[in-house]
Amino acid sequence: MAPFLLSALLPGFPLALKVRQVLAVDLGTDFLPAIALGMEEPEPTVMQKPPRPRSIRLIDGKLLRRAFLWLGMLETALCFIGFASAYLFSDNAGLLSSVMPWLQNLPYPRFFHFTLSNKDAVLAATTLYHAGLVMSQVGNAFACRSEGWIPFSRRWLPRWRLWASVGLEIIGIFALVYIPWLSQVFEHYPIPVRYWLGLFAFPVLLHTLESARKGVVYLFQPKPTEVSA
């Protein structure tokens, strides 16, 4: 929702994600990981928790805050970092000067520099946002395998279905970016391959931050009583 809200509220701010790209996420790249998560094994500590009271809703305020105000905001921040970097790295930061005047003065590694026209810079920016969203969703898929923090001694590895679905998700975004006719349909630019060094850091960073949050919550919450057989 953030790209459309910012584009509507901030005059001159370009749309970071196109409608077709949203559909590609909702109906394509995000589809298989969602199914794989539904086929995951139960958490190893599930039998140590008391039964859920019937008065508690399945989708409650706690779940919504975690989804929208924490994980959603992390994904949004990472995606907009990728979005803005396309303008910065291609010497087109002036296109965002009306809303982000400080962007032009940011230093950056010349390794990521590439020269683009204004039109191509806009396409590269939306491409990086879309690719960043897909990669962030990879981290989100692994982060959502458990509601809370699982002690290391009781953790369980993802089943092959999740790994396979994530692999297909990554292949899917590569196809949308680099296959010419798909790239044209979804308004993408074939970004330099070296940019994926940063994009592949997105799921690691998101999963690490979510694991840290779960660990902090686990330290301060009352520990459940062990259930004897």
What percent of the chain is predicted at pLDDT more than 90?
54
Q: In the structure, what pLDDT confidence band is assigned to residue 229 with cuts at 50, 70 and 90?
A: very low
- Whether 184 maps to a domain, the answer reads yes
Name the 3-class secondary structure at 187: coil
Rounded CA-CA distance 145/158 in Å is: 8
- Whether 201 maps to a domain, the answer reads yes
Six-digit token string for 34: 């969602």
Q: What is the average pLDDT score of the chain?
A: 88
- Whether 5 maps to a domain, the answer reads no
What's the pLDDT score for residue 223?
64
- pLDDT per residue over 40-89, tens digit each? 877 777 777 788 888 888 888 888 999 999 999 999 999 999 999 999 99
- Whether 1 maps to a domain, the answer reads no
- pLDDT per residue over 136-191, tens digit each? 999 999 888 887 777 655 565 777 888 999 999 999 999 999 999 999 999 999 99
What's the pLDDT score for residue 225?
57
pTM value? Answer: 0.89
Structural domain for 140, as ranges: 28-41+60-150+160-220
- Whether 128 maps to a domain, the answer reads yes
What's the pLDDT score for residue 28?
85
- Whether 12 maps to a domain, the answer reads no
- Whether 8 maps to a domain, the answer reads no
Rounded CA-CA distance 148/72 in Å is: 17
The average pLDDT across 94-100 equals 87
What percent of the chain is predicted at pLDDT more than 70?
94
Domains in the chain, number: 1
Residue (of 12, 10, 19) closest to 126 by Cα position: 19
What's the pLDDT score for residue 197?
94
Range with the largest mean pLDDT of 89-98, 155-164, 194-203: 194-203
Q: Dihedral of CA 169/173/178/182: which sign? A: positive
- Whether 52 maps to a domain, the answer reads no
